[in-house]
Amino acid sequence: MKRKVLTDDLTLGMYVAELDRSWESAPFESPFELQGFTIQNVEELLKVQKLCRYVYIDPNLGVGAKKYLSDEHQFNSAINIIQETATAAPLEEYYPEKEPIDTEIVRAKEILNDTRRVYDQVVRDIESGNKVDASTVKNVVGTLVESVLRNASATSWLVRLKKQDESAYSHSISVCVLGLTLARYLGLSKKQLNVLGVATLLQDIGKLSIPPYLLSKVERLDKKELELIKLHVNKSISVIRSMDDISSEIITITAAHHERFDGTGYPRGLSRSEIDPLASIAGLVDTYEAMTANRPYRRAKTGFEALMELYDERDRAHPGGLIEQFIQCVGIFPVGGFVKLNTGEISVVVQRNQIIQLKPRIMILTDPKGNKLPHPQTLDLSAQFVLPGRMPRMISKIVEPKDYNIDPRELFI
């Protein structure tokens, strides 16, 4: 599998398979005209770095990239990918923000609480054999849609901070909100957002029928256990079909959210255009949320790690174009992500900057020495007032809150 690498991150032994331009336009001498070569010495390395900003290497034919990249280089490579994938103007102009985050976050908190109450009732109804009230689910999803349309950062911010609760509720709500945020970014209709919202909220409800020990098992699942896990899709479909006034689109999305672009998914092994576009969105956000959640058998990946892994696997599990749009939507600094500033202060991202991705709005939580601030302050990194001779605040790296004795749940306001 080819891997995109900044030429600053190249090292000896890597096999360059593609350039950031045509081979014909590259003024290389032998061996470069062969359109693929292993970097043998420093002179060849410098030639490539002088001509190209990035190249594609083939780890199967030479040294791989990852083990040579320091955290800082990975960080810089990720920023480059974000900028390179910005091939079109953002579509958020279809839904301009109607409310500032400070205002919407108050309403969003109550909406998310309502959503949890509705989800809990759905669970109780299923466990007691009662019919699930579709109108209640639709209504609460409708309020979520309106909140996301007013200001997507508010719901995203609250969901990410609440994600320490790794329950079925947490995952389902997170997938629903992220799916709506991506759909809003893509400029889909309000009707499509409502359909997608109901589907993503309920698509994993069938896991209630899976033995709990399987969902919490630390050891590798055997073939029989994997097949049992896969049955949750049909169980979810059964629950949704039993509800009144449910559209076929919701069932289609639920049925295909574990199908994969390359045909390796389940339950039908669909691929490419056989998969409904909304199901592709549902599957992608479900994957991302699963990657960034703690599991009994592994730690949660950071949003940064998850985005880079998805990018490396584009056009395999998920459509490459959708992944690139998703990266633009979520950004290198996702809402709710924790970062360290060049001043040493620890902050949390509360709102993305669609124009200048490296300068989001943040909430500063500690002083430069790591002491928690009694009254955290918000700051728009793109609109700082900087005294003469002073450096503006900038993000230096992504961090884990636990490493700085910060409990994200304490920030759930």
For the chain, the maximum distance between any two Cα atoms, rounded to a whole number of angstroms, is 74
What number of other Cβ atoms are within 10 A of residue 206's Cβ?
A: 20
Taking only the tens place, the pLDDT of each residue in 2-13 is 777 888 778 777
Using CA atoms, how far apart are residues 135 and 141, in angstroms rounded to an integer?
10
388 Cβ contact list (under 8 Å, min separation 6): none
Provide mean pLDDT across the span 22-49: 70
pLDDT at residue 327 greater than cutoff 50: yes
Of all residues in the chain, what percent carry a pLDDT higher than 70? Answer: 87
Using CA atoms, how far apart are residues 209 and 236, in angstroms rounded to an integer?
9
* Triad 374, 361, 292: Cα angle to 5°: 90
Taking only the tens place, the pLDDT of each residue in 260-293 is 999 999 999 999 999 999 999 999 999 999 998 8
Strand pairing report for 346-351 and 338-341: antiparallel
Domain locations along the chain: 3-69, 92-330, 338-411
Contact (Cβ atoms closer than 8 angstroms) between residue 172 and residue 119: yes
Question: How far does CA 14 lie from the centroid of its chain?
Answer: 29
Helix 71-84 / helix 320-330 crossing angle, nearest 10 deg: 110
The separation between the first and the last C-alpha atoms of the chain, rounded to the nearest angstrom, is 44
pLDDT at residue 333 greater than cutoff 60: yes
CATH architecture of 92-330: Orthogonal Bundle (1.10)
- pLDDT the model gives residue 314: 87
Identify the weakest region by mean pLDDT among 264-273, 368-377, 382-391: 382-391
pLDDT at residue 180 greater than cutoff 60: yes
Provide mean pLDDT across the span 210-227: 86
Contact (Cβ atoms closer than 8 angstroms) between residue 400 and residue 302: yes
Of all residues in the chain, what percent carry a pLDDT higher than 90? Answer: 45
Tell me the β-bridge partners of 275. none
Provide mean pLDDT across the span 231-243: 95
Higher pLDDT among residues 328 and 41, named by residue: 328
- pLDDT the model gives residue 84: 53
pLDDT at residue 389 greater than cutoff 70: yes
- pLDDT the model gives residue 294: 79
- pLDDT the model gives residue 67: 38
By CB atoms closer than 10 A (0-12, 13-18, 19+), residue 218 is exposed
Closest to 61 (Cα-Cα) out of 27, 101, 34, 88 = 34
List the structure tokens of 4: 């995109």
22 Cβ contact list (under 8 Å, min separation 6): none
Provide mean pLDDT across the span 189-194: 93
| Residue 141's pLDDT band (cuts 50, 70, 90) | very high
| Residue 193's pLDDT band (cuts 50, 70, 90) | very high
The helix/strand/coil state of 394 is: coil
Q: Can you say whether the dihedral through the CA atoms of 194, 197, 203, 208 is positive or negative?
A: negative
- pLDDT the model gives residue 19: 84
Mean pLDDT of the chain: 84
